[in-house]
């Protein structure tokens, strides 16, 4: 049995805050998870929560919400659905290894410290066979091996102007 009030509280809301929901489902119409052909509705999640019913770890939003905030931007009341989803993941203990590593890093240093996050995520990455993409990650993380930089001769400046020293 989930403690609904606890989830809402963790998300930074009070239960009465959610009563403003119009049930218009605009959030559902823009939800990224629906773009993946997985049928879901942030509004239904809110309603279920508001009624004090359990939400399972298999709920598509609990599993796949990307935290993109498209729903919040579209919602007339700016209801922060992804924060509610994050609170649910906390309560259901279904956060991804990365989420846990990010939170751990914030608890220790107050910021995301990439080597710590990577270290914490390594067991998961090995288990799921993601290490084969390591070269790509290094590329994305902007870590480049040192390489020789060709010196430009200032006298060959195409504008015919004298360049500065490099």
Residue (32 or 118) nearer to ligand SF4, CB = 32
CB contact at 8 A, 5 and 15: yes
Which member of 8, 49, 62, 79 binds ligand SF4 (CB under 6 A)? Answer: 79
- How far the first Cα of the chain sits from its last, in Å, is 66
Residue 27 Cα distances to 46, 98, 144, 147, angstroms: 11, 26, 41, 48
Put residue 17 in one of left, alpha, beta given phi > 0 → left and psi -120 to 50 → alpha: alpha
Please tell me the number of Cα atoms within 13 Å of 135 on its side-chain side.
Answer: 1
Q: What is the contact mask toward ligand SF4 in residues 124 to 143, using x (rule: CB under 6 A)?
A: --------------------
Q: Is 87 in the site for ligand SF4 (CB under 6 A)?
A: no
SS3 assignment, position 144: coil
Q: Which stretch binds ligand SF4 (CB under 6 A): 23-31, 87-95, 101-109, 150-158?
A: 23-31
Residue closest to 68 by CA, chosen among 85, 54, 89, 51? 85
CB closer to ligand SF4, 30 vs 121: 30
Residue 68 found at the interface with ligand SF4 (CB under 6 A): yes
31 binds ligand SF4 (CB under 6 A): yes
Q: Which stretch binds ligand SF4 (CB under 6 A): 15-23, 105-113, 120-128, 149-157?
A: 15-23
Binding site for ligand SF4 (CB under 6 A): 21-27, 30-33, 42-43, 46, 61, 65-71, 75-77, 79, 81-82
């Amino acid at each position: 049995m989930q403690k609904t009030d606890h989830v809402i509280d963790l998300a930074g809301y009070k239960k009465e805050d959610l009563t403003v929901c119009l049930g218009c489902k605009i959030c559902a119409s823009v939800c990224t998870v629906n773009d993946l052909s997985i049928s879901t509705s942030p509004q239904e999640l809110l309603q279920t929560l508001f009624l004090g019913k359990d939400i399972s770890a298999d709920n598509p939003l609990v599993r796949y919400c990307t935290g993109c905030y498209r729903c919040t931007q579209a919602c007339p009341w700016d209801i922060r659905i992804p924060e509610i989803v994050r609170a649910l993941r906390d309560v259901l203990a279904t956060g991804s290894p990365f989420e846990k590593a990010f939170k751990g890093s914030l608890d220790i240093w107050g910021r995301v410290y990439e080597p710590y996050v990577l270290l914490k995520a390594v067991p998961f990455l090995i288990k799921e066979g993601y290490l084969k993409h390591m070269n790509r990650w290094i590329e994305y993380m902007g870590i480049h091996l040192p390489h020789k930089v060709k010196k430009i001769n200032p006298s060959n400046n195409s504008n015919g102007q004298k360049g500065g020293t490099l």
